[in-house]
Structures are given as C-alpha cells and as structure tokens.
Amino acid sequence: MNEPISFFSGFGPKDLWYLAQAAWQTLLISVLSISAGTVMGIFFGWILSESKVVGSITIGFVLDAFRSVPLIIQLVLFYNLFNVIGLAVSPFTAGVIILGVYTSALVANVARGGIESVGKPMRRAGRSLGLSYFQTMRHVVWPIGLRAVFPSWVGVALGVLKDSALVSVLGHPELLKVARDLITRTQQPLLVLAVAGAFYFALSFPISRYAAHLERKWQS
C-alpha cells in the first residue's frame, strides 16, 4: 500500500536562508528609497519654506496627495500605469521609485519644519559675515535646521522600512511575500511570522540605536 504524499514540509534551515535573502531585498529597497526620498524631500521642503504660497499650490498639493493616498494603492496604481505607458519596469524598480516618492512627501514637511526653525536673526548674521544666500543655507540653516528634526526623520525612515513590506503586492520576493509563501508551504504561521518579525527587528534596531548615538554625540 502506497504511503500518502504530503505537500507540506516543516520549517528548516533552507527556509531560514530564504527569509534572510528576502530580508536583504527589503533592506535594499528601503535604503534606496529612503536615500532618494530624503534628498528629494529636503529639496521640496526648501521650496515649501521659501515660496509658501506657490509651493503649497503646486508641490504642496502633489505631496499632500502622496501622503493621503494609502501606499498600497499607489504601488498598484503606478506599477500598472508604468506598463500602460510602455515602461517595462521590474517590481523592484517600481517599488523603489514609488516608495522613494512617498518618502519624499513625508520628508518634505519634516525638512520644511527644520529650515523654518532657524530664525531670521541667525540668517542675517550669516549674511552679515559676507555669506551669499546659498552659502548661508549650506553652512548655517541646513546644518542647524536638519539636525533639529533628525529624530523626526529617523521616525520616517523606520516607518518606510516597515512600509516596504507592501512592495510584496507587486510580486517582488521581499520579506513579507516570502513569509507568506512559507506559511502556505509549512503551515507554521506563528513560527514563520516570528522569524520574519525578528528580521524586521534586526533591520530596524541598529538604525534607532545609531540615531540615538548621534543625538547624544551632537548634544555633548
């Protein structure tokens, strides 16, 4: 008599390695999107702080739309839009682009708050020393203002790291998608999710600790 065939197998070392590779993909997506989004967000924040009316009507409206619409809708909508207009982009590339723009929308308000926290007297002091407008921004406003909102930026970065799990809807094998696939095969949801959560913690904890170290260093 033939033994019954089992389509499921327990969680093993190969599955752990599979999750580790997916965690690397999550880290890669997060680093690229946070880096690009931070640069764009600082630029947008500067525009919003310098031209409040025009910036709010133009860039501000677009950024508000990206902040208001759920990220999962943005991912599905723009990924399909890329294909409609003939841009053959991979789920990874689409995820980085969309997540980067979403990050810039979050960072823009943070950057604007930091820039506006540097008062006019300090700016005038820089100009009185012979610095041009852009030299004053580079050597006075941005170092002081952006450092003041650094904790807020860390919060945005950690949030984007966790939001990168939504890229799984595009089919890219990042940590959440791989975890779901393993749950289907192993039928051990608690174990798989616990391991996936541990990977997310391993990615997030060093960022928060290093950020706290920088804050203490700047205050000393």
High-pLDDT (> 70) share of the chain, %: 94
- Give the whole-angstrom CA distance, residue 118 versus residue 18: 48
Whether the CB-CB separation of 196 and 186 falls below 8 Å is answered with no
pLDDT in tens, 120-155: 888 888 888 888 888 888 888 888 888 888 889 999
Q: What is the pLDDT of residue 4?
A: 43
Return the domain boundaries, the chain.
13-219
160 pLDDT higher than 70: yes
Tokens 């764009």 belong to 40
Residues 78-115 as b/e (b if ≥16 CB within 10 A, e otherwise) read bbeebeeeeeeeebbbbbbbbbbbbbbbbbbbbbbbbb
For residues 70-85, give the mean pLDDT: 90
Could you tell me which CATH number the domain at 13-219 has?
1.10.3720.10
Q: Is the pLDDT of residue 9 over 80?
A: no
Query: Rounded to two decimals, what is the model's pTM?
Result: 0.87
Please determine, for residue 1, whether its predicted confidence score (pLDDT) is greater than 50: no
